[in-house]
Every structure is written in C-alpha cells, then in structure tokens.
C-alpha cells in the first residue's frame, strides 16, 4: 500500500513539472491554445557553464518547474558541441533559425520571453546568486 501511495505522489508531482516542448511549432501552438507566454532559452547544454548552472539551479528546481507548468510554455534552443549530444538535424536547423531571429549576437545563455504572437517582451540570462522565486519575478516583469 505504501508503495502505491508513493507512486501516486511522485506521479502527481511529475505532472506539475514544466514540460519543455520538443519543437518550436509545438510551443507556438501550445502558447496560443493556452494563452501563455513562451520562454525561449538559448543554451549550450554541454559546454556553457552559466547555461548549465541556470538549468541546474533555476529551471530544474521544483519551485520553477511547478510555476512554469502553470504559467509558461518552455522551449530550449540548445546548441550542444559534443558529438554524443548532437541534436537531430531538423531540430538543429530550427534552433539556428531561432538564433538568427532572436539571438543574432550569440549570447549564451539567453532567455527570451515572448507572447503567443512571437513579440519579444524581454530578455535576460544567467543571474548569479538568485533564487527560482526571484528569477520567476524577473520573467514576470516582462509580462506586464
């Protein structure tokens, strides 16, 4: 019985976690359907130290995950360099196209908050010594 209770608790907790969309078109559709802003993250998941720290300390935190699942549509435009982390060509091309449009200077990490119509509302990046709560407040300032 205990086992079943734990499984249910962790299953429900997992549903509250923000889901990163697999492609940007899915993110746009979801943002439009659910009337949510898109948080587009440009990252180098296997080479960019600030990107890795931002993911580990903010995006992977339970607090951010729970909040984001209810309030944002998340998309990671990742640019890994290691061969074993190579993305499928279609996704890499999509990320390059997004970078040309929203990150022409090539900043990493860059977090772009946009509305469902792809209007950029604000940008930020890695902020040292911040909490998930403060980072959420930063993102939400762009929405007002």
pLDDT in tens, 41-94: 999 999 999 999 999 999 999 999 999 999 999 999 999 999 999 999 999 999
C-alpha to C-alpha distance for 138 and 63, rounded to whole angstroms: 15
Q: pLDDT by residue (tens digit) across 5-53?
A: 333 344 444 444 579 999 999 999 999 999 999 999 999 999 999 999 9
pLDDT at 18: 72
Residue 138's contacts (CB-CB under 8 Å, 6 or more residues apart) are: 124, 127, 130
> Tokens for 113?
């908050």
E strands present in the chain:
38-43, 73-78, 110-114, 120-124
Question: Quick one: DSSP state of residue 84?
Answer: G
C-alpha to C-alpha distance for 38 and 23, rounded to whole angstroms: 12
Strands 38-43 and 110-114, bridge-based pairing = antiparallel
- Rounded to two decimals, the pTM is 0.88
Q: Residue 48 in contact with residue 133, Cβ under 8 Å?
A: no
Q: pLDDT by residue (tens digit) across 97-138?
A: 999 999 999 999 999 999 999 999 999 999 999 999 999 999
* Closest listed residue to residue 143, CA positions, set 38, 54, 46, 65: 38
> Tokens for 19?
């889901």
């Amino acid at each position: 019985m205990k086992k079943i209770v734990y499984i249910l608790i962790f299953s429900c907790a997992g549903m509250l976690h923000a889901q990163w969309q697999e492609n940007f078109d899915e993110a746009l559709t979801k943002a439009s359907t659910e009337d949510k802003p898109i948080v587009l993250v440009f990252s180098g998941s296997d080479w960019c130290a600030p990107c890795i720290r931002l993911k580990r300390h903010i995006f992977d935190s339970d607090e951010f995950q729970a909040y984001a699942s209810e309030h944002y549509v998340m998309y990671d435009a990742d640019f890994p360099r290691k061969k074993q982390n190579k993305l499928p060509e279609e996704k890499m091309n999509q990320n390059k196209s997004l970078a040309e449009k929203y990150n022409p200077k090539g900043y990493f990490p860059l977090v772009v908050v946009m509305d469902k119509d792809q209007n950029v509302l604000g940008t930020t990046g890695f902020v040292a010594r911040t909490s998930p709560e403060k980072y959420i407040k930063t993102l939400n300032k762009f929405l007002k």
